């Protein structure tokens, strides 16, 4: 581990910086919307004199977001949001770019938390969180760090569920903007981003064929829809499992087989959990799985696939390839778990494509500006990204793609606003 000269960063190895710079340059060339926001920030300096702490999967797209927030005048500190998704070369490059970094790949659980706390000890005015990790620390063991915080923005579905639980108890201490709930986030990031990056992670890790296999998608929310769609495109037979009757009907109408997890467990070759829940694949399911079944998670924590119950059925566990653990069951079968049951697209891949994170992180950037300007008016609440900002991101995306769309005429507007015109 190396500490930079001003002791404002903790990263694994500063000599990796050149590779990190190349990675950041590559993604920033494919993030036109965020580049436009960067120009606005350079001009307006919305964060001048403010400190911002970010906890996100610390790879190249995230690094570019940190640089954009810095370009807006902020002093930026960053930490990871998953022990296996931090890329050490990107961390080193960010330090050279003047961002304080407290992160390294695969730290011990205790150190992972300590790094996160160090990032908060800079006493930020604003935060960007992923899954509510920073918010949880600030509302539990480190309430002493709450006083400087004006507000923040949350990246993902599970984080917003947690924030709403805090808000309901009247315990949330500052406004948080629910970036995941913006259309330009979940419609594209959760669906097309997860759909593509999950198979990027699975395919590069296993080097096995998907066509002809049976892929079981556990949960048919925004992520599940994307994963099922891409599994079908790769030639798999797709089974969906759900606990929500409406989503189950939707999966059926979308052309997928829908069944209980117990039945799916018998049929599946590759399993992907995307529920944000716990124990969705567990002991009773392992009992009936095929020899050689492959398990992966792209939801939230590494508890969607119950690892202790899998270990209890096993006589031996060994790493057979980077990011693949073979659980050798006492009855002679083997079940393979990818990336220790952590997010397969980030722990065993590079995460979502740059063009997808372009929209997500453009929203993060404008949401941070919004909460800084409106934190007093919003109060201690979970706030939506205002529709105009969501639409602005979509318009910038269309502009970058060179796509024009139509405008309503005055007659059309009047017609749509009226309840009497029937012609």
Ligand X SMILES: N[C@@H](CCSC[C@H]1O[C@@H](n2cnc3c(=O)[nH]cnc32)[C@H](O)[C@@H]1O)C(=O)O
Ligand Y SMILES: NC(=O)c1ccc[n+]([C@@H]2O[C@H](COP(=O)([O-])OP(=O)(O)OC[C@H]3O[C@@H](n4cnc5c(N)ncnc54)[C@H](O)[C@@H]3O)[C@@H](O)[C@H]2O)c1
Q: Which residues bind ligand Y (CB under 6 A)?
A: 156-158, 186, 190, 194, 218-224, 241-244, 247, 274-277, 280, 298-300, 343, 345
The DSSP code sequence of 66-124 is HHHHHHTT-EEEEE-SSTTT--HHHHHHHHHTT-EEE--SS--HHHHHHHHHHHHTT--
Q: Is 190 annotated as a binding residue?
A: yes
In the bound state with ligand X, the residue whose beta carbon lies nearer, of 189 and 358, is 189
Give the separation between CA 33 and CA 399, rounded to whole angstroms.
9
Identify the CA nearest to 35 among candidates 404, 399, 405.
399
Q: Which residues contact 23 (CB under 8 A, 6 or more apart)?
A: 59, 60, 63, 87, 89, 90, 93
**Counting contacts by CB under 6 A, is residue 82 touching ligand X?**
yes
**Counting contacts by CB under 6 A, is residue 129 touching ligand X?**
no
Give the separation between CA 183 and CA 385, rounded to whole angstroms.
9
In the bound state with ligand X, the residue whose beta carbon lies nearer, of 109 and 332, is 109
User: In 118-165, at which residue ranges do the beta strands (DSSP E only) sit?
Assistant: 126-129, 151-154
Q: Is 287 annotated as a binding residue?
A: no
In the region spanning residues 182 to 221, those forming contacts with ligand X, defined by CB under 6 A, are 189, 193
In the bound state with ligand Y, the residue whose beta carbon lies nearer, of 280 and 389, is 280
First to last CA, the chain: 73
- Judged by CB under 6 A, the residue of 21, 38, 51, 57 near ligand X is 57
Q: 160 near 222, Cβ under 8 Å?
A: no
Q: Is 224 annotated as a binding residue?
A: yes
Residue 357's binding partner out of ligand X, ligand Y, none, with CB under 5 to 8 Å set by partner kind = ligand X
Q: 309 near 284, Cβ under 8 Å?
A: no
Taking contact as CB under 6 A, which single stretch among the options 125-133, 162-170, 201-209, 388-396 is the one that binds ligand X?
125-133
**Counting contacts by CB under 6 A, is residue 242 touching ligand X?**
no
**Counting contacts by CB under 6 A, is residue 357 touching ligand X?**
yes
> What residues line the site for ligand X (CB under 6 A)?
56-57, 59, 61-62, 81-82, 130-131, 133, 155-156, 180, 189, 193, 300-301, 343, 346, 351-352, 357, 360
Residues in binding site? 130, 155-158, 185, 189-190, 219-224, 242, 277, 298-300, 345
């Amino acid at each position: 581990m190396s500490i930079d000269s001003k002791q404002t960063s903790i990263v694994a190895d500063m000599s990796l910086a050149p590779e990190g710079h190349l990675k950041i340059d590559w993604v920033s060339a494919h993030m036109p919307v965020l580049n436009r926001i960067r120009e606005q920030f350079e001009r307006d300096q919305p964060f001048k004199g403010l400190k911002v702490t970010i906890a996100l999967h610390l790879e190249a797209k995230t690094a570019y977001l940190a640089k954009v927030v810095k370009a807006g005048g902020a002093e930026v500190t960053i930490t990871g949001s998953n022990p296996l998704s931090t890329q050490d070369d990107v961390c080193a490059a960010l330090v050279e770019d003047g961002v304080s970094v407290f992160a390294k790949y695969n730290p011990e659980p205790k150190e992972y938390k300590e790094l996160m706390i160090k990032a908060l000890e800079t006493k930020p005015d604003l935060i960007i969180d992923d899954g509510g990790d920073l918010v949880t620390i600030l509302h539990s063991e480190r309430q002493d760090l709450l006083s400087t915080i004006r507000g923040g923005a949350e990246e993902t579905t599970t984080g917003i569920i947690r924030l709403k639980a805090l808000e309901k108890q009247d315990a949330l201490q500052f406004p948080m903007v629910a970036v995941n709930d913006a259309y330009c986030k979940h419609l594209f990031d959760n669906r097309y981003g997860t759909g593509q990056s999950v198979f990027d992670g699975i395919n590069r890790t296993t080097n096995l064929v998907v066509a002809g296999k049976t892929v079981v998608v556990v949960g048919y929310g925004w992520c599940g829809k994307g994963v099922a769609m891409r599994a079908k495109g790769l030639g798999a037979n797709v089974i969906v499992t759900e606990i929500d009757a409406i989503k189950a009907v939707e999966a059926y109408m979308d052309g997928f087989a829908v069944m209980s997890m117990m039945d799916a467990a018998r049929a599946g070759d590759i399993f992907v959990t995307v529920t944000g829940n716990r124990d969705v694949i567990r002991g009773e399911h392992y009992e009936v799985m095929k020899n050689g079944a492959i398990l992966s998670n792209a939801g939230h924590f590494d508890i969607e696939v119950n690892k202790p119950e899998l270990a209890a059925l096993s006589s031996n566990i060994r790493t057979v390839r980077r990011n693949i653990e073979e659980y050798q069951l006492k009855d002679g079968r083997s079940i393979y778990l990818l990336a220790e049951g952590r997010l397969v697209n980030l722990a065993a891949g590079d995460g979502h494509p740059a063009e997808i994170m372009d929209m997500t992180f453009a929203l993060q950037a404008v949401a941070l500006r919004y909460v800084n300007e409106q934190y007093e008016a919003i109060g201690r609440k979970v706030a939506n990204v205002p529709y105009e900002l969501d639409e602005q991101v979509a318009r910038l995306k269309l502009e970058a793609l060179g796509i024009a769309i139509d405008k309503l005429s005055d007659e059309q507007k009047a017609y749509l606003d009226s309840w009497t015109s029937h012609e």
